[in-house]
Structure 1
Amino acid sequence: MFDFKALLESLPIMGLGMLGIFIVIGIIMGIIWILGKVFTEKKDNKNQ
């Protein structure tokens, strides 16, 4: 089993903070992209 907690504890605080920021941005961008696809598909279906 991968010991994720040990890896986090070995990382510097600043590095961990940057990693967290990148993960959050990635998740937000992914959600926006998925919502954008869903809404554009719904609009296209209504117009037809």
Structure 2
Amino acid sequence: MNNVEIALEIMAKGMGGIFVAIFVIMVAVIVLGKLTSGKKEQ
């Protein structure tokens, strides 16, 4: 049972890292979208 707890802890850290990376990418896309949206030319 000890191995299962260790595996779950490692998996939780990995999933947390993935969610943090996705959040950072989302924030970067939103910020870049706001910075470049005011330059529309026709």
Smaller-chain TM-score bracket: 0.7 to 0.9
- Give the count of matched residue pairs: 37
Q: Which amino acid aligns with 1:15?
A: E
Segments of 5+ residues of structure 2 without an aligned counterpart are none
> Whose RCO is larger (CA < 8 A, sep 6+)?
1
| Percent identical residues | 8
Paired position in structure 2 for 1:20: 10
Segments of 5+ residues of structure 1 without an aligned counterpart are 1-11
Q: TM-score, normalised by structure 2?
A: 0.82
Q: TM-score, normalised by structure 1?
A: 0.73
